[in-house]
Amino acid sequence: MRTITAIMGDGIGPEVMEATMRVVDATGVLINWEKVYAGQAALDKTGSPLPQETLDSITRNKVALKGPCDTPIGSGFKSVNVKMRQLFDTYFIPRLVVSMPGVKSRFSDVNLIVLREGVEDIYAGDEDGDYEKGIIHGVITRKNSTRFFERVFDYAKINNRKHVTIVHKANIIKHAYGLFLRVGLEVAERYPEIKVDSKIVDDMCMKLVMNPNQFDVIAAPNMFGDIVSELCAGLVGGLGVVSGANLGDKYAIFEAGHGTAPDIAGKGIANPTALILSAAMMLEYIGESKACAIIVCAVNEVLFEGKYITKDITHARNEKLRSMGYYLPVSTDRMTDAIVEQVKRRL
């Protein structure tokens, strides 16, 4: 049995975490879930948004599954997500952006991987200021950019991807993003079988909205990677169906891309899909490839059928039936039940 840290999160975090753990347990993979807290829930319980107990658990177990955690806007404590990435050096953040069966969106055949650098740039920098002036200090280094791009191209190669697009703003911020771009192009020379090009971030956003199918793997610095990954999520139905992870050389923290959704917290209607798919990535990471495949197939089947899905998912096939009173939205628990049933059928 393997022990994995379960960071329960804030808002809808505990609901989708419990749902996800049920689905993983249904595969028969033996996991001891070590429940800990971060964010506002941790602050309320311990006086710290990132308590030592949580840090010790991740250090001990090496792998964590994390529910969404609150980050106050404009004041309050700093992002625990950013802090954990820095502490555990998870410099490589993949987000899988794939059109899901039956989920209505503007495009039906998107298959992108967004790879975001996770420990440098403005997000990981220091800031200061008052009501008159805000100052941000960010850094991008050759050393970190090199290891990031080595992992980018290795990831592309392993996953049989043929095209990497580097996103930057080197035309304006020449030293920092210019360095990021140069290092990416230098590392790319070691992988002649993979096509590489680059796009300025604003141009990239426009082209993604117009035709996402011209892209394959997108590699971006921290801040732009965050923005672009959420834009890409909008191409496939939203953050509720996009999985992701924070990976380093020693530690791995798997999480959905969405937030805490405080407006629906505690109502039992949160969509667990993104975190369940992130847990599937986690299973692949720890060597449980079969369980990963079973979960992905189970989620796809439930989404395709459209009978047991939460309110936020707009289903392409059953929109008219819903308007007639059929296939009404279900609770988090009922959708999870349906996924668990599909998992057990495949064992």
Closest CA to 333 of 9, 23, 5: 23
Q: How far apart are CA 117 and CA 33, in angstroms?
A: 28
Query: Is residue 69 exposed (0-12), middle (13-18) or buried (19+ Cβ within 10 Å)?
Result: buried
Q: How far apart are CA 189 and CA 204, in angstroms?
A: 22
Q: How far apart are CA 232 and CA 107, in angstroms?
A: 11
Q: How far apart are CA 144 and CA 62, in angstroms?
A: 21
Question: What 3-state DSSP class applies to 138?
Answer: strand
Q: What is the pLDDT of residue 89?
A: 97
Q: What is the pLDDT of residue 129?
A: 79
* pTM of the predicted structure, to 2 decimals: 0.93
Mention every residue, 6+ apart, whose C-beta is less than 8 A from residue 131: none
Question: What 3-state DSSP class applies to 81?
Answer: helix
Give helix then strand counts, H and E, for the chain.
12, 12
Q: What is the pLDDT of residue 26?
A: 98
Give yes or no for a contact between 273 and 257, defined as CB atoms under 8 angstroms apart: no
Q: How far apart are CA 303 and CA 238, in angstroms?
A: 14
Per-10-residue mean pLDDT, the chain, length 347? 96 97 98 96 91 97 95 68 94 96 89 97 80 87 98 97 97 94 98 98 97 97 96 93 96 93 94 97 98 98 92 76 75 97 96
Q: What is the pLDDT of residue 95?
A: 97
Q: How far apart are CA 196 and CA 163, in angstroms?
A: 6
Q: Domain residue spans in the chain?
A: 1-96+238-347, 106-235
Q: What is the pLDDT of residue 73?
A: 62
Q: How far apart are CA 174 and CA 247, in angstroms?
A: 28
**Tokens linked to 307:** 């009978």
Q: What is the pLDDT of residue 55?
A: 97
> For the domain bounded by 1-96+238-347, which CATH number is listed?
3.40.718.10
What is 106-235's CATH superfamily? Isopropylmalate Dehydrogenase (3.40.718.10)
The DSSP secondary-structure symbol of 264 reads T
Q: How far apart are CA 264 and CA 88, in angstroms?
A: 31
Q: What is the pLDDT of residue 325?
A: 66
Question: What 3-state DSSP class applies to 11?
Answer: coil
Q: What is the pLDDT of residue 79?
A: 83
